[in-house]
Amino acid sequence: MVRGKFITFEGIDGAGKTTHLDWFRQQLAAKLAPSGHAVVMTREPGGTPLGETLRGILLDQPMDLETEALLMFAARREHLAQVIEPALSRGDWVLSDRFTDATFAYQGGGRGLPRDKLEALERWVQGGFQPDLTVLFDVPTETANERRSAARAPDKFERESETFFARTRGEYLRRAAESPQRFAVVDATRTIEDIRKELEQTIASF
Ligand code: TYD
C-alpha cells in the first residue's frame, strides 16, 4: 500500500487561507479519484472530538503560555493517532488547516516561547514526521488586519495586536526559508483567481 501525502495550509489570521481550502480539496480529490483514494480534510487545533473540545478552550480562554503550547501539542498527538496516521496508512491524502508550523509561528514567534522547548515537544509528539507540502498564505499584517476586521466576532488570537502578527508572520517566513523544498509560499495579496492559478501549478508539480 502506498502511503498518502500530508498537506498543510498556514498563514496569519486574515491571510485568506480558508477561502482556498475547500477548492483545493476538490482539485486534489479529482486528481486522486482514479486511484480510489480520498482526501481527508481536517484542522488544528481540532480534528478529533477531544481536539475540538481543546480548540474551544484554546481559542476562548486566557492561559499561561506554556499551557497553551502543551494543549496545542496534546490536541495534535490525538489528531495524529486518530486521524492523520490512519488515513495516510490506508493511502488517503490528508489536508489540514494548520499544523505544527502554526505553533512555532504563534506560540514561538508571536508569544515568544523559546524554540528549543517547541522542538522538544515536536520530537515527542511527532518524531521526525513532517508535512509533505505546506502552503503558506503570506500577506502584510496591515492587509490581514483589514480582512480580519471585516470578519465575525474575533477569537482570542484574532484579537492580538499587529505587532504580534508581525512576529508570527516573521516566524512563518523564517521556517519557509529554512525548508524551501517543503513550503510553497503564496503571495495572498493577489486576486482569488490568480492565487488559484498558482495553486493549480503547485498541485500539478507536486
Ligand atoms: P484559524 O485556523 O484561523 O480558524 P478560523 O478561520 O476558524 O479562525 O484559527 C485557529 C487559531 O489557532 C489561529 O488564530 C491560530 C491559532 N493556533 C495557534 O496559535 N497555534 C497552533 O498550533 C495552531 C494549530 C493554531
**Is any atom of ligand 1 closer than 6 Å to the C-beta of 101?**
no
Residue 110 alpha carbon, nearest atom of ligand 1: 19
User: Hey, which CATH number is domain 6-205, 3.10.20.520, 2.40.50.100, 3.90.700.10, 3.40.50.300?
Assistant: 3.40.50.300
The residue whose CA is least distant from atom 1 of ligand 1 is 13
* Domain range list for the chain: 6-205
Answer yes or no: is pLDDT of 74 > 80.
yes
Q: List, for residues 90-149, the tens digit of each pLDDT value.
A: 999 999 999 999 999 999 999 999 999 999 999 999 999 999 999 999 999 999 999 988
Strands 39-43 and 6-11: unpaired
- The mean per-residue pLDDT over the stretch 29-56 comes to 97
Cis peptide before 45 (omega within 30 of 0): yes
Alpha carbon distance 77, 73 (integer Å): 6
Length of the chain: 206
Cα of 44 to ligand 1 centre, how many Å? 7
Strands 183-187 and 39-43: unpaired
